[in-house]
Amino acid sequence: MKKINIAVVGCGRIAGHHCRAIKSNENFNLVAVCDLDKSKSDDYSKEFEALSYDNYETMLSKNKEIDIVTIATPSGMHYEHACEIIENYQKNIIVEKPTFMTPTQIRNAFDLANKNNVTIFPVFQNRYNIAVQRVKKSIETGELGDVRLVNVRVRWCRPQRYYDMSDWRGTFSHDGGAMTNQGIHHVDLIRYLGGEVKEVNCTMGTIGVQNVEIEDTAVATFKFCNGILGSLEVTTAARPDDFEASISIVGSKGLAQIGGIAVNLLEIFTPNTEEIEKNSDDFSDLPDRGKVYGRGHMSMYSDISSHILQNINYPITRKECLESIKLLHAFYLSDENKSWVTIDDQTESSRLGREDDNISNLYRNIRK
């Protein structure tokens, strides 16, 4: 059987998880890796036995057999890189979180993909954690009862040196703060486990760092379409380390709480406490114990393989992606307006994802 050929663009830390997931799946072949910094792509080239490039146009022109391109570049460049590759090379695209920075970008990119008969695969790998899947099942089957309250807590550490690593970090145009870069997976899980959110009220601040424009702390309350309530606390101002990334669900028949460093441990499950241990994963067998990324990328690539080879629908659709980014923007818009914000098709922050060519020019593909 012919293998699916993949290339990875952007050779930062997360790219290693993609490369390992690709190499571990017998249906995939990692053809090439690409980064503007050739030393980074060279390192991954040696580790994962793939061709190395510093220009994705050159890479795609010389390797026409590539079927999929994984976009793991700075968040604010996902849209430009993905659209160029879709329009000019008609390749399927895997896009790291937060997929694209704005709802408008999501609509435009998916429309472009449809026009060119290719698929965009958004990455929300924490949905695959066994603890998350167990709680999801308990909600769908009624084991946990009706959901009554959802609470999110992310207490991580990102000191000034983290933001000083790259020009795109700490910017609204290309990064977003604690909510977008670190909290996005929990924003997605709010919807995945609790359902659609109707309105939010959020306050943001920058407390633990200086010389950045983004928030490192956000506190919010929100109301779901069915009337249930939720609360959220996301910060990267915790010191000296990452402490918690949890989501809890109060149901009419009990309490479920998923915690650990990356919603990987089923900490409380009152409907059946025997389920706790077997539905927890400490990531101890992964490099650096998963480093908050976990093993969800492996399952995600398996779903991509099933989509392409067996015509099984990829579970994270355009609508799923769009609604999660609309919810993300609602938190920012609420802080901007200093009021409750109702989520609708016009929900879009004036800050998050705004254009900044001075930064984009640093990360644009080298024109040969």
| Same domain flag for 120 and 144 | no
Q: Count structural domains, the chain.
A: 2
Q: Residue 329 corresponds to which tokens in the numbers above?
A: 């923007």
Residue 165 lies in a domain: yes
Name the 3-class secondary structure at 309.
helix
Residue 350 lies in a domain: no
| Same domain flag for 97 and 184 | no
Rg, the chain, Cα only: 20
Angle at 319 between CA 317 and CA 320, to 5 degrees: 65
Residue given tokens 């093993």 in the structure block: 295
Angle at 361 between CA 293 and CA 48, to 5 degrees: 40
Q: Residue 267 corresponds to which tokens in the numbers above?
A: 């900490």
Which residues have C-beta within 8 Å of that of residue 299, sequence separation ≥ 6?
Answer: 125, 128
Residue 349 lies in a domain: no
What pLDDT is stored for residue 368 in this prediction? 54
Spatial strand order in the sheet of 28-34 = 51-53, 28-34, 4-9, 68-71, 92-95, 120-122
Residue 29 lies in a domain: yes
Residue 74 lies in a domain: yes
Residue 318 lies in a domain: yes
| Same domain flag for 108 and 91 | yes
Q: Which long-range contacts (CB under 8 A, 24 or more apart) does 46-55 make?
A: 47/16, 47/19, 48/19, 48/20, 48/22, 48/23, 50/7, 50/8, 50/19, 54/366, 55/365, 55/366, 55/368
| Same domain flag for 8 and 114 | yes
CA dist 247 and 138 (Å) reads 15
Q: Which residues of 332-358 are buried (b: 16+ CB within 10 A; e: fewer)?
A: bbbbbeeeebebeeebbbebbbeeeee
Residue 162 lies in a domain: yes
| Same domain flag for 142 and 115 | no
Residue 368 lies in a domain: no
Query: Could you report the per-residue pLDDT of 27-42, keeping only the tens digit for each?
Result: 999 999 999 999 999 9
CA dist 153 and 356 (Å) reads 31
What residues in the chain have per-residue pLDDT under 50?
289-290
What pLDDT is stored for residue 293 in this prediction? 73
| Same domain flag for 60 and 155 | no
CA dist 16 and 348 (Å) reads 32
CATH number at residue 315: 3.30.360.10
| Same domain flag for 10 and 101 | yes
Which residues have C-beta within 8 Å of that of residue 155, sequence separation ≥ 6?
Answer: 233, 235, 238, 242, 243, 244, 245
Q: How far is CA 172 from the centre of its chain?
A: 16
Q: Alpha helices of the chain — where are they, by DSSP H?
A: 13-24, 38-48, 56-62, 78-89, 103-115, 130-141, 160-163, 184-194, 275-278, 296-310, 318-337, 357-363
| DSSP-derived secondary structure letter, 364 | S
| Same domain flag for 196 and 322 | yes
Q: Which of 353, 331, 317 is nearest to 110 (CA)?
A: 317
| Same domain flag for 161 and 292 | yes
CA dist 144 and 193 (Å) reads 12
What pLDDT is stored for residue 367 in this prediction? 62
What pLDDT is stored for residue 282 in this prediction? 84
CATH number at residue 79: 3.40.50.720
| Domain span at 61 | 4-124+356-363
* Neighbouring C-beta atoms of residue 141, cutoff 10 Å: 8
| Same domain flag for 41 and 98 | yes
Query: Could you report the per-residue pLDDT of 112-169, keeping only the tens digit for each?
Result: 999 999 999 999 999 999 999 999 999 999 999 999 999 999 999 999 999 999 999 9
Q: Are 164 and 271 in contact (CB under 8 A)?
A: no
| Same domain flag for 133 and 232 | yes
What pLDDT is stored for residue 288 in this prediction? 60
| Same domain flag for 104 and 140 | no
Q: Which of 190, 202, 142 is nearest to 320 (CA)?
A: 190
What pLDDT is stored for residue 292 in this prediction? 63
